[in-house]
């Protein structure tokens, strides 16, 4: 499963939204309805899903699904 698919699955489960709402250009707050607490929960869920540690400030700067893909792929590559 790709990074994108895994991020979509986490967002759908955590935000309780329909899968077709989650597109690469979707913004977590404006388009998918994440509030500030859910944004923090998303970071934690991504860390768990990918078994990584994310710098919280940098992670919270991620605004779109594709930004999250790029950010997580970078963290994974730096391993």
Catalytic residue among 31, 35, 51, 73: 35
Provide the whole-model pTM. Answer: 0.92
Helices (H), the chain: 3-15, 36-50, 56-60, 65-78
pLDDT of residue 60: 76
User: Among this protein's residues, is 20 annotated catalytic?
Assistant: no
Per-residue pLDDT band for 59 (boundaries 50, 70, 90) equals: confident
What is the structure's pLDDT at 78?
92
Q: Which domains does the chain have, with CATH numbers?
A: 3-78 (1.10.1200.10)
């Amino acid at each position: 499963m790709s990074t994108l698919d895994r991020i979509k699955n986490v967002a759908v489960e955590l935000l309780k939204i329909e899968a077709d709402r989650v597109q690469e250009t979707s913004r977590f707050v404006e388009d998918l309805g994440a509030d500030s607490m859910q944004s923090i929960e998303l970071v934690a869920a991504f860390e768990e899903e990918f078994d990584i540690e994310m710098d919280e400030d940098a992670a919270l700067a991620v605004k779109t699904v594709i930004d999250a893909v790029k950010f997580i792929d970078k963290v994974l590559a730096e391993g």
